[in-house]
Amino acid sequence: MPFTPVLRAEALKIRTLRPLYGTLPAVFLVVTAFSALAAGSGAADPGSDPLFASLSGVWPGQIAAIVFGALAVSAEYHGNAIRLSLAAVPRRGRWFAAKLTAVAVPVLVVGLVTGLTALFTARAVLGGAAAGLSAGEQARGVLGCGIYLMLIALFAAGLTALFRSGVATLSTLIPFILVVSFVIGDAAGSAARFLPDQAGQVVLHQTSDGPLGPWSGLAVTALWAAAALAAGAWRLCTRDA
């Protein structure tokens, strides 16, 4: 079966999964609301990073992107739906690529719209404190927001294919990002900058004083996502559905 109809079928599956209905709207609402709150605090601090204050809602908002990526894949393992999917598309690599594309595209689009909305909302709150942001920095922040959210959703999708369980992915990845990453950061120093969340969020800062720049940080997150996807693809192709 050609790739395009497979992609259409996977996109239709995702659109009809009720547990996913609120995830992408949650990305938009959480990122925008928390960024506005952070901007309100940053407006009173002349030493704060205005770009990160405008987009800092990505930190809590990424949880919804993780849930989207995990549930989109884990639905295949409920009631052995994966057997039907692979019966219709015997080439497992093609099916997996279509599933990942159906996950990545909506998260990227929502991430870009969310980043732009959060930036404009936070700038209105920051007022003169955001005057130092250049157009290039703002464009980079919005683009980075969309790409980062897409990569973290794909990271979750890859882990779900590896674990064959959305619950296992969520119970591993969410505590890691919310708690463990910061604990490791305190203990490991600069090495923690290469963790998937910390590396990718460098793009949301106006300046970087660590070993990674904005785009190299996103590249590190992309490597983490690629490793998870490769592991998930290996599990899919070597184990019977």
Token couple for 239: 């184990």
Tell me what the mean pLDDT of segment 101-127 comes to: 94
Q: What is the pLDDT of residues 131-190, one digit of tens each?
A: 778 889 999 999 999 999 999 999 999 999 999 999 999 999 999 888 777 676 655 567
Q: Give whole-number Cα distances, 42 to 34, 55, 103, 128, 236, in Å.
A: 12, 12, 34, 11, 46
Cβ–Cβ under 8 Å, residues 23 and 67: yes
Other Cβ atoms within 10 Å of 61 Cβ, number: 26
pLDDT over 70 (residue 46): no
Round to whole Å and give the CA distance between 178 and 60: 8
Residue with structure tokens 């463990």?
A: 180
pLDDT > 70 in the chain, percent:
93
Cβ–Cβ under 8 Å, residues 153 and 66: yes
Q: Which of 77, 108, 95 is nearest to 10 (CA)?
A: 95
pLDDT over 70 (residue 226): yes
Round to whole Å and give the CA distance between 193 and 188: 9
Q: Which of 176, 179, 223, 175 is nearest to 199 (CA)?
A: 223
pTM metric for this prediction: 0.94
pLDDT over 70 (residue 43): no
* Per-domain boundaries in the chain: 3-236
Q: Which of 30, 121, 92 is nearest to 67 (CA)?
A: 30
According to the per-residue pLDDT averaged within each range, which of 45-49, 51-55, 179-183 is highest? 51-55
Q: Which of 130, 159, 127 is nearest to 234 (CA)?
A: 159
